[in-house]
Structure 1
Amino acid sequence: MLSLSRRVGAAALAGLMSLAAPAAAASASPPLTEPVITTDDTVRADQWQLEALDLADAWAYADGTGVTVAVIDSGVDGSHPDLVGQVLPGLDLVDTKAETVTDPVGHGTTVAAFIAGRNDDDNGVVGIAPKAKILPIRVLDEENRYDDALIVAKGVRWAVDHGAKVLNLSLGGSGSSATLAAALDYAFAKDVVVIACTGNASASSTSDNSGVWYPAREPGVVAVAGMERDGTTLWSGAITGKETVLTAPSTQLVGARGPDDYWRVQGTSFAAPMVSGVAALIRSRWPDMPAGEVINRLIKTADDRGEPGRDGQFGYGLVNPTAALTADVSFVTDNPLDTTPPPGVARFGSAPVPGQAQSAPEESNPPWVVTQAPTTNSGGWAAPAQPVDDGSGRTRWIAIVLFLISALVAAFTVRRFAGSAG
């Protein structure tokens, strides 16, 4: 009988085998091997990211206390030993009749533990911000997909309205969405830090390899790519581009999987929560620090990789938690990744206020997909990921100003025009 033993068991192996079933994934990775984790101490010993990111030093300054991080994903299994007491009541937008949020895939549980796994014993996965709380929002179905970005937009808004100060989006696709963009703008307006993965290249398809996934490429979102264990090499499966902001550990990781199992994972899906955890540490140390300042600290204290300065592969570099919590960083007044037009010009994709009509119906054709489900083998991925761009683009209205000047009256009007995603 499996209790709180924190080990990979037969149920986990069966689940991993089922993830390998799709024929499209056959060429993407070698056959599955035996379970890789068998003892408690092995799990903890495999948490190489803890030393690589020097978290022992970082925790001397902050541990995530007082910060809620929303995990918008496949759900979160709050009964996992690494997450007991860490998970708040959430929202299931897939099974709307569910009384509690569950995780039939395991992906969201893995993400949540990398952010806020407990560190009060010597077992299991420790999160980057072990005293932070997780707000679970399920938007992905049993195949780790969402068919309509509207569901993610709803999740973003709900998370913001229920106290999340950091949003983790380890999902995406090549399409774009005006409604999701508006929801993200709503988060920015409410002083929330939004972090997303840049995406994983698929060995079986080139349709999802052409550029950073959406919503990571949305201006203002911290787009996170994956780093190899050596700390200097970009993970070969990471999709990168000019929108890349930071990198974090993404390979040879051991993740929590409910109810009390573990599996090996890799991908930008698991680099993003590393950065979300660091953002939670910053917000824990400085509760009143604006989101723009949090992001400013993340990028100005990153360890530069690749070409000097920001580049299209590593962004600003590898996230550095201790530096982010201790460095003397120059002040900025706004989100350094923001592209909001100057005052007097409408912000693109502005979120409607409560009660105001939403934007036009959402694009519903492209199969949005989370980064592929993890397997136990070194090749990494078993489930297909082939997000398709529906070509509709996202609607943006940028300022067209009509001036009527007279001696007594001046009128100023702003409209927005259609444009493609960034």
Structure 2
Amino acid sequence: MRLWSLRWGAVPRFVGAALVAVGATGAPAIAATPAQAASTVQRRDTVREDQWQLTELRATHAWRYATGSNVTVAVIDSGVDGSHPDLAGQVLPGIDLVTGSGDGRTDPVGHGTTVAGLIAGRNDDRDGVMGLAPQAKILPVRVLDADNRYDDALIVAKGVRWAVDNGAEVINLSLGGSGNSPALAAAIDYAFARDVVVIACTGNVAPDAPAEVWYPAREPGVIAVTGLERETEGLWSGSITGPATVLAAPANGLVGARPGGTWKVQGTSFAAPLVSATAALVRAKWPEMTAGTVVNRLIKTADDLGAVGRDDRFGYGLVDPVAALTVGMSTVERNPLDNNAPPGVAGFGAAPGIEAAGGTSGNHQTGGQAPGSNAGWSAEPVGEVEESRRGLLAGGLIALGVIVAGAFTVRRFFRTR
């Protein structure tokens, strides 16, 4: 069976995290897209005091109840620097789907390391990055190349499935784009069916790009996370929001780990891991709790912002780790965000339709997979073009059947007159 790899002429390659590091000379050290992050190299002696998200989310209070121990969070991204001192001992062997070799514990971009540090950084006795779930383990799945880009959403789909098959209980997708991907939708359903919580960023505003919440954040069942300004309850100016928005978290003025040190970053890419860390805290406190109940707990305990109730700007509001760990609440039968009627690919709703442009255009960020480990995944997966052709063929056969049946009915009518 042929593997279709979609590549568009006028459409830019799918872009990863917007992350810019400015060195002492003021020249960009890393640049992906122009609109998202303005970052500066961070001095070690100011790192701790600048981690305002820990104060905003009352981390020390939350750690009385859980620290993320025995929970694995998959970071589907640019890889994770497993040798970084703030992540020492926290990064499990993963997979590099870009090179086809390696275990995902190198990061040529820095984005995945930043995401991982916000989740599980452990600077116990040093002035370094502290994650919100400091005892969670990180499973790195690399899908972004050295330019922080990928060409096909299929690589992210493979990364999601690989992460599920290799023990992830929470998946962080700090990536997205304007087009839907049936392959990625099926992979996310695969995760839901296997009791995994999936979190994604809503996306960042960029010139000449759609302002719609990115995919896969808008896939039903996924916790779509937008970003807030530092020490305010206002929306970060670069955040994309819309009806699919579920939760909000700090997004700018953040300190992140990067290969060789730390830096200041901003973007919804870095708000999402704070929600992933909160999910890890909840799963650590209640190991038997279903993913659907974890999602329900996160949205029902959020600190409501903006209009009363869920709204298009903030979703249900600011994620609240302490409330999520302490408020009494009953279990639910299914993920309350997944409003697709079963049956679907995995019993959690059908994949979204294929768009005219092929369904995979736009800016994106992260993913990964391991060679020879394709449990539940065809060795040569069918791409969107192949699926589209099958859909057209099926539709044509149905239409032909309707025409023939109609003609037969008319003929019988005139015979009986």
Contact 2:36 2:238 in 1 (8 A): no
Contact 1:148 1:367 in 2 (8 A): no
In structure 2, the residue corresponding to 1:276 is in which secondary structure? helix
Paired residues for 1:84-233 under 5 Å? 84-98=88-102, 101-202=105-206, 205-209=207-211, 211-233=212-234
**Residue type at the aligned position of 1:264:** K
In structure 2, the residue corresponding to 1:255 is in which secondary structure? strand
Q: What's the counterpart of residue 4 of structure 1?
A: none
Contact 1:70 1:159 in 2 (8 A): yes
Deviations 1:179-211 (A, max 9, x none): 000000000000000000000001xx23232x0
Q: What's the counterpart of residue 59 of structure 1?
A: 63
**Residue type at the aligned position of 2:361:** P
Percent identity reads 62
Output the CA distance in 2 between the equivalents of 1:135 and 1:185: 20
In structure 2, the residue corresponding to 1:369 is in which secondary structure? coil
Output the CA distance in 1 between the equivalents of 2:230 and 2:157: 33
Q: What's the counterpart of residue 377 of structure 1?
A: none
Q: What's the counterpart of residue 410 of structure 1?
A: none
Check if 1:19 corresponds to 2:36: no
Check if 1:334 corresponds to 2:334: yes
Contact 1:149 1:368 in 2 (8 A): no
Contact 2:176 2:365 in 1 (8 A): yes
**Residue type at the aligned position of 2:316:** Y
Paired residues for 1:352-371 under 5 Å? 363=358, 366=361, 368-370=363-365
Q: What's the counterpart of residue 388 of structure 1?
A: none
Output the CA distance in 2 between the equivalents of 1:314 and 1:99: 36
Q: What's the counterpart of residue 71 of structure 1?
A: 75
Contact 1:148 1:363 in 2 (8 A): no
Check if 1:299 corresponds to 2:309: no
Q: What's the counterpart of residue 319 of structure 1?
A: 319
Output the CA distance in 2 between the equivalents of 1:16 and 1:139: 27
Output the CA distance in 2 between the equivalents of 1:45 and 1:125: 10
Q: What's the counterpart of residue 234 of structure 1?
A: 235
**Residue type at the aligned position of 2:365:** V
Task: Name the CA shift for 1:162/1:29 in 2 (closer, same or farther; >3 Å).
Answer: closer
Provide TM-score, normalisation by structure 2.
0.77
In structure 1, the residue corresponding to 2:60 is in which secondary structure? helix
Q: What's the counterpart of residue 37 of structure 1?
A: 42
**Residue type at the aligned position of 1:366:** S
Q: 1:297 offset after TM fit, Å?
A: 0.7
Task: Name the CA shift for 1:231/1:332 in 2 (closer, same or farther; >3 Å).
Answer: farther
Task: Name the CA shift for 1:88/1:16 in 2 (closer, same or farther; >3 Å).
Answer: farther
**Residue type at the aligned position of 1:185:** D
Deviations 1:81-133 (A, max 9, x none): 10010000000000113355311000000000000001422421100100000
Deviations 1:144-190 (A, max 9, x none): 11110000000000000000000000001101100000000000000
**Residue type at the aligned position of 1:18:** A
Output the CA distance in 2 between the equivalents of 1:43 and 1:298: 28
Deviations 1:376-403 (A, max 9, x none): xxxxxxxxxxxxxxx99x9799xx9xxx
Task: Name the CA shift for 1:139/1:342 in 2 (closer, same or farther; >3 Å).
Answer: closer
Bigger helix share: 2
Deviations 1:308-349 (A, max 9, x none): 000000000000000000001233211010123157997544
Check if 1:49 corresponds to 2:43: no
Task: Name the CA shift for 1:287/1:99 in 2 (closer, same or farther; >3 Å).
Answer: closer
Output the CA distance in 1 between the equivalents of 2:281 and 2:265: 24
Output the CA distance in 1 between the equivalents of 2:36 and 2:283: 39
Task: Name the CA shift for 1:347/1:262 in 2 (closer, same or farther; >3 Å).
Answer: closer
**Residue type at the aligned position of 1:195:** I
Deviates more, 1:214-223 or 1:117-126: 117-126
Q: What's the counterpart of residue 14 of structure 2?
A: none
Larger radius of gyration: 2
Task: Name the CA shift for 1:15/1:363 in 2 (closer, same or farther; >3 Å).
Answer: farther
Output the CA distance in 1 between the equivalents of 2:110 and 2:27: 10
Contact 2:23 2:41 in 1 (8 A): no
Q: What's the counterpart of residue 278 of structure 2?
A: 278
Contact 1:147 1:368 in 2 (8 A): no
Contact 1:303 1:318 in 2 (8 A): yes
Task: Name the CA shift for 1:137/1:41 in 2 (closer, same or farther; >3 Å).
Answer: same
**Residue type at the aligned position of 2:261:** D
Deviates more, 1:340-349 or 1:231-240: 340-349
In structure 2, the residue corresponding to 1:370 is in which secondary structure? coil
Contact 1:148 1:364 in 2 (8 A): no
* Aligned residue pairs, count: 350
Task: Name the CA shift for 1:227/1:11 in 2 (closer, same or farther; >3 Å).
Answer: closer
Q: 1:12 offset after TM fit, Å?
A: 6.2
Deviates more, 1:281-290 or 1:92-101: 92-101
Task: Name the CA shift for 1:29/1:116 in 2 (closer, same or farther; >3 Å).
Answer: closer
**Structure 1 regions of 5+ residues with no counterpart?**
1-9, 351-358, 372-390, 401-422
Output the CA distance in 2 between the equivalents of 1:112 and 1:137: 11
Provide TM-score, normalisation by structure 1.
0.76
Q: What's the counterpart of residue 263 of structure 1?
A: 263
Q: What's the counterpart of residue 247 of structure 1?
A: 248
Contact 1:87 1:134 in 2 (8 A): yes
Output the CA distance in 2 between the equivalents of 1:149 and 1:344: 20
